[in-house]
Amino acid sequence: MMKTFVLAPDSFKESMTAVQACMAMQRGILRVLPNARCIHAPMADGGEGTVDALIAALAGQRVECEVTGPLPQQRIKTYFGLIDGGKTAVIEMAQANGIHLLRPEQRNPLLTSTFGTGEMIMQALERGVAKIILGLGGSVTNDGGAGLAEALGAKFLDEQGNSVQACGGSLNQIQSVDLSGLDARLKQTEIIIASDVNNPLCGPKGASYVFGPQKGADAEMVKVLDQNLSHFADVVETEIDASYQHMAGAGAAGGLGFGLMAFAGASIQSGVDLIIEQTQLAEKIAQADYILTGEGKIDFQTQFGKTPFGVAQLAKRLNKPVIAFAGLLGEGFDELYNLGFDQIIGINPPNCPLQDALDNAERNLQKACENIAERLK
């Protein structure tokens, strides 16, 4: 009897995209089960691969553009996606202001800005979109979305009424906000944040303390960044007469979640849930015998909004077996067996050096899927 597999992986960081992972899975399955049916559903959770996953699933198009990178003088050639016949834009903030765009020694969240993400939104608005989906993973910024707001026409002023160029290190200089020049089209545009993070803006669980160190911040810088964000949020919230800094997800992408809610009226959604809904994954899973998912690393944190967990929860509701693959099985991954996963498989040989694992990821995933297919014969 022909077996049907839904292939719903995220990207495997630094080694293969979600689309490439689907192809590797399919090659492994078809080598053993040549009559099997493979339904591709490349996934993402708001981070790397979100645009590509939605373009692939919904026959969208890429729009090439050039914007400001994480540092003010940096120019980046990048792209966003259009789906729904051009009515919806899909943007990854990391495509403009992501951590991968700076070498480790260049990373300094006092200096980086989300200005380029604002420019991408501006370019989407120029195309007349009615809706923007914005993925917030993988940032190297900590500016509370001030740079983005600046690109969209907001002005930030110091005590003397002089303009402040927004970045993580200058937020404490801002004493007032002028939103009169903010692009009016934002009010007519539905903006949805796709995030796998539910941290508030400030405090020990906020953007600076939790994510600052991976963006190049030492302990002293983390304190400064947190104080700056707190000051900035108070000034902004006084101006707009609304409070967002304590909301879940306000701390995503160095506080860009906060900025999008405060300046653009954005709503926030679990990234993986949004992708599941957009790609109609439930309908695909309903017709399958087995569900395959995975990403670069699976550990106890996978249950907090990561792609494999979202896929597994949906599959379990539909009573389908779920097999997950990972480049690295981290601490506490076995906790996931109680949460909807039937098998969790590391694809690399024992004691495999990291570079070998990255170089051979597609081959190793294909082989792991061959082994699974053998057992399912």
CA triplet 337, 339, 345: central angle to 5 degrees? 40
CA distance 53 to 44: 7
Q: What pLDDT is recorded for position 39? A: 97
Say if residue 63 is in the same domain as residue 206: yes
Is the pLDDT at 225 greater than 90? The verdict is: yes
Say if residue 302 is in the same domain as residue 156: no
Q: 68 forms bridges with which residues in the sheet?
A: 75
Name the nearest CA neighbour of 72 among 162, 171, 151, 139.
151
Cα separations (Å) of 169 from 112, 144, 220?
Answer: 9, 11, 12
Do 325 and 357 form a contact (C-beta atoms < 8 A)?
Answer: no
The domain boundary residue, chosen from 272, 293, 314? 272
Say if residue 152 is in the same domain as residue 88: yes
Q: What pLDDT is recorded for position 57? A: 87
Say if residue 298 is in the same domain as residue 347: yes
The domain boundary residue, chosen from 241, 272, 303? 272
CA distance 292 to 276: 14
- Computed over every residue of the chain, the mean pLDDT equals 96
Say if residue 366 is in the same domain as residue 291: yes
Fill in the amino acid letter for 159.
E
pLDDT tens digits for 332-360?
999 999 999 999 999 999 999 999 999 99
Say if residue 163 is in the same domain as residue 311: no
Say if residue 158 is in the same domain as residue 94: yes
CA distance 312 to 322: 6
Interval 25-50 mean pLDDT: 95
Say if residue 147 is in the same domain as residue 98: yes
Is the pLDDT at 118 greater than 90? The verdict is: yes
Q: What CATH code is carried by the domain that includes residue 182?
A: 3.90.1510.10
Q: How many domains does the chain have?
A: 2
Strands (E), 196-350: 267-270, 290-298, 322-329, 343-346
Q: What CATH code is carried by the domain that includes residue 341?
A: 3.40.50.10350
CA distance 30 to 74: 45
CA distance 93 to 98: 7
CA distance 207 to 217: 12
Is the pLDDT at 254 greater than 90? The verdict is: yes
Q: What pLDDT is recorded for position 1? A: 79
Is the pLDDT at 241 greater than 90? The verdict is: yes
Say if residue 115 is in the same domain as residue 242: yes
Q: What contacts 23, CB < 8 A, 6 or more positions away?
A: 362
pLDDT tens digits for 260-303?
999 999 999 999 999 999 999 999 999 999 999 999 999 998 99
pLDDT tens digits for 308-332?
999 999 999 999 999 999 999 999 9
Say if residue 232 is in the same domain as residue 341: no
With 0-12 / 13-18 / 19 or more C-beta atoms within 10 angstroms meaning exposed / middle / buried, residue 106 is middle
Alpha carbons within 13 angstroms on the beta-carbon side of residue 276 total 20
Q: What pLDDT is recorded for position 102? A: 96
User: Within a 10 A sphere around the Cβ of 69, how many other Cβ atoms?
Assistant: 22
The domain boundary residue, chosen from 272, 302, 332? 272
Do 167 and 147 form a contact (C-beta atoms < 8 A)?
Answer: yes
Interval 67-93 mean pLDDT: 97
> Which domain covers residue 306, as residue numbers?
4-42+280-376
CA distance 148 to 22: 34
Name the nearest CA neighbour of 9 among 361, 324, 368.
324
Say if residue 112 is in the same domain as residue 27: no
Say if residue 175 is in the same domain as residue 32: no
